[in-house]
Amino acid sequence: MGVRHVVVFRFRDGTGDDQREEIARELRGLPTVIPEIASYTVGSDAGLVESNWEFAVVADFVSAEDYRTYREHPTHRSIIERLIQPVLAERAAVQIVTD
């Protein structure tokens, strides 16, 4: 049973482009330290629909256990605590069973 993890963010007013870029850069580095990540896409919304969320992460895992490893990995947790939580206004997530 594979798992696709989708999370979207809205940032607090005043969150700068440099902060968003640092979040993206740090998250994009996770596949090099968490081998359980099968596929990883991170980025800001393309701006095509005004009501969209601002930022998204889509991650694929071979198993639910691999997803849990990612979710609790210290490097991932550090990025959330240091960079995302201080500027986070809203977050929504879903894990979809694939295969």
Nearest partner of 42 among 31, 53, 58, 29, judged by Cα: 58
Q: Kindly list the domain boundaries of the chain, sorted by start residue.
A: 2-98
The span from the CA of 6 to the CA of 95, in Å, is 6
CA distances from 53 to 31, 32, 67 (A): 24, 27, 23
What percentage of residues in the chain have a pLDDT greater than 90? 98
**What's the pLDDT score for residue 99?**
77
Look up the CATH number of domain 2-98: 3.30.70.100
13-44: per-residue pLDDT in tens? 999 999 999 999 999 999 999 999 999 999 99
Please state the rounded mean pLDDT for residues 69-81: 98
- The pLDDT tens digits of the residues spanning 48-63 come to 999 999 999 999 999 9
Contact 58, 4 (CB under 8 A): yes
Query: What are the helix (H) ranges across 2-63?
Result: 17-28, 30-33
The model's pTM: 0.94
